[in-house]
Amino acid sequence: MKKNIILTGFMGTGKSTLGRLLARQLNYKFIDTDSEIEKRSGKTVADIFREDGEAAFRQQEKELVEELAQKQGLVISTGGGLVMNPQNVQNLRKSGEIVCLTASPDEILERVSKQPETRPLLKEAEPLEKIRELLQQRSSTYAQFRQLPTSGQSPDELTTRLLEMLQFV
Ligand code: S3P
């Protein structure tokens, strides 16, 4: 049985990049929850937040998780807020291993600044403050998972680290 591998963590910690690389190495299918929601709804995440509200987006995340948790052999990169719903965590845990990627607030800001329009929660006058505030709110949730610090490491190095953590090497 190929248990799913789930990468979570705050925005800009590299979940999608790493998830894609890991899936390729393991010959698993890669799913990014934000991209999947965009594909299914025909709207960007930013549009869903603006037109339908955050609650509608969270509902779509929840339905997607219920579906993905029934499958195997997936590498799933989650949106950063998805694990704030304990029901999602419960479903994901049943289907596989969850690893949380971490980075400092400054690194997160640097990474998300490359595509600011895709992160509606950080559309603020002081994005660094907002990042700190959200990290604070989410710290105990993220802390329940195995942690993989991403600072100063290349995507390839991190993929190797992840494979070691998950005992694939
Ligand atoms: C969010 C993270 C985003 C996306 C949405 C909300 C969050 O995904 O799901 O903008 O609440 O942290 P990434 O973590 O992939 O940026």
pLDDT tens digits for range 36-69: 999 999 999 999 999 999 999 999 999 999 999 9
Pocket probe for ligand 1: among 6, 119, 138, the residue whose CB has the most ligand atoms within 8 Å is 119
Distance between CA atoms of residues 63 and 76, nearest Å: 14
Cβ of 80 less than 6 Å from ligand 1 = yes
- Report which of residues 117 and 140 the model is more confident about: 140
Burial 123-144 (b: 16+ CB within 10 A, else e): eeeebeebbeebbeebeebbee
Ligand 1 center to 52 CA (angstroms): 16
pTM: 0.97
Cβ of 37 less than 6 Å from ligand 1 = no
Q: Residue 169: pLDDT above 80?
A: no
User: What separation in angstroms does the CA of 81 have from each of 25, 106, 120, 165?
Assistant: 26, 19, 12, 23
Ligand 1 center to 127 CA (angstroms): 14
User: What is the architecture, at CATH level 2, of domain 4-159?
Assistant: 3-Layer(aba) Sandwich (3.40)
Q: Which tens digits make up the pLDDT trace of 90-121?
A: 999 999 999 999 999 999 999 999 988 899 99
Cβ of 119 less than 6 Å from ligand 1 = yes
